[in-house]
């Protein structure tokens, strides 16, 4: 019988305080890779914006003042130890970071551009895939009503790479279909389905989610924050017959609490590993990609059952419209 298994890990990170240099964060991550190696892991998934504090909670009047939180090269001197660890241990890794690049925009103007980005790196240290976050939550201007800001719309542009999937060797497997999303994307079924339509087998995603809803739009019980995160990931895996490794940044960072609860989910939507701390923690699971076949060939055999002609609103409309009122 062919072995389709890959041993994966979610490498949850405890808080990274504002004053903590990225070299310290990288050293913590290298230690997690070393532990992953001892546990036979072949692919490690780090969180969103894994190198620094979750800086969109801090307001800068001039956007360029936030540039010290961005990476203008990958790898750089500070991040090279991660690539070296990948080569040393023969482990692939997924890394979320703030990307500062100079490239043409949609009008052709070449200018500095900032994205909330993730990359997939091979065990040989090559970048296999890059994704830039599409669903940016929060707001662009300082909001005096909020105790904690969430300025992703200020610091980042909407990702312009779509939701790419790549088939590449990983671990002992000759090919795994791998895709990425970042944090808030996990709540949008459209994102999962775009990956599912590319036969994704493994979705990697990192997140920084505050334990408290700061939008002050109404009461939300604390326990529902984790429930909604897990619900979205479990539904995405089930409906697209794939595995997911979802990795949190956790604990109290700059006085703001982020929930952990990193999970690994199988194509039945079951949680097969879950973090129990709010600190640096490695959770692992064996992903048997043979498990993707059942959903893909039965309930979610897309080619047999999908009806895109009935889904026209999904791509032509952004906000909801009111329905007709009865009686007319």
Binding positions for ligand CDV, rule: CB under 6 A: 48, 137, 150, 183-184, 187, 207-209
The rounded distance, in Å, linking the Cα atoms of 215 and 204 is 27
Active site residue 309: no
Conformational region of residue 83, where left means phi above 0, alpha means psi within -120 to 50, and beta covers everything else = alpha
Name the active-site residue from 42, 71, 99, 133. 133
CB of 56 to ligand CDV, least distance (A): 7
Nearer to ligand CDV, 191 or 287 (CB): 191
The rounded distance, in Å, linking the Cα atoms of 114 and 97 is 11
Nearer to ligand CDV, 6 or 256 (CB): 256
Q: What is the dihedral of CA 146, 147, 150, 151, to 10 degrees?
A: 80
CB of 149 to ligand CDV, least distance (A): 11
Neighbours of 217 (CB within 10 A): 7
Active site residue 183: yes
The answer to whether 83 and 121 are in contact (CB under 8 A) is yes
Nearer to ligand CDV, 79 or 184 (CB): 184
- As a whole number of Å, the CA-based R_g of the chain is 20
The H or E element that residue 134 is part of is: none
Nearer to ligand CDV, 30 or 63 (CB): 63
CB of 229 to ligand CDV, least distance (A): 7
Active site residue 292: no
Q: Which residue has the tokens 């599409």?
A: 134
Question: How big is the chain, counted in residues?
Answer: 328
CB of 137 to ligand CDV, least distance (A): 4
Name the active-site residue from 42, 48, 71, 281. 48
**Which amino acids are annotated catalytic?**
48, 133, 183
């Amino acid at each position: 019988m062919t072995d389709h298994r890959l041993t994966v890990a979610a490498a949850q990170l405890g808080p990274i305080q504002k004053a903590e240099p990225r070299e310290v964060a990288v050293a913590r991550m290298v230690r997690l890779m070393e532990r992953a190696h001892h546990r036979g892991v072949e692919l490690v998934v780090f969180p969103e914006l894994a190198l620094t504090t979750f800086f969109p909670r801090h307001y800068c009047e001039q956007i360029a003042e936030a540039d010290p939180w961005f990476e203008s090269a990958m790898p750089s001197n500070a991040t090279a130890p991660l690539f070296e660890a990948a080569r040393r241990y023969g482990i692939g890794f997924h890394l979320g970071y703030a990307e500062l690049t100079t490239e043409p925009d949609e009008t052709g103007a070449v200018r500095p551009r900032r994205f909330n980005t993730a990359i997939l790196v091979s065990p040989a240290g090559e970048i296999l895939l890059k994704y830039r976050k599409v669903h940016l939550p929060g707001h662009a201007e300082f909001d005096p009503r909020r105790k904690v800001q969430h300025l992703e719309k200020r610091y980042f542009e909407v990702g312009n790479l779509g939701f790419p999937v790549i088939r590449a060797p990983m671990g002992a497997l000759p090919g795994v279909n791998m895709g990425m999303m970042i944090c808030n994307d996990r709540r949008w079924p459209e994102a999962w389905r775009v990956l599912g339509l590319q036969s994704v087998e493994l979705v990697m995603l990192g997140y920084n989610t505050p334990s408290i809803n700061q939008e002050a739009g109404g009461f939300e019980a604390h326990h529902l924050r984790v429930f909604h995160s897990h619900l979205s990931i479990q539904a995405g895996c089930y409906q697209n017959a794939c595995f997911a490794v979802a990795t949190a940044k956790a604990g109290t960072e700059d006085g703001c609490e982020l929930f952990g609860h990193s999970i690994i989910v199988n194509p039945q939507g079951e949680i097969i590993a879950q973090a129990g701390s709010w600190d640096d923690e490695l959770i692992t699971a064996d992903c048997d990609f043979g498990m993707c076949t059942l959903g893909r060939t039965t309930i979610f055999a897309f080619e047999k059952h999908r009806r895109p002609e009935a889904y026209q609103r999904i791509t032509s409309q952004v906000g909801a419209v009111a329905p007709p009122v009865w009686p007319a």
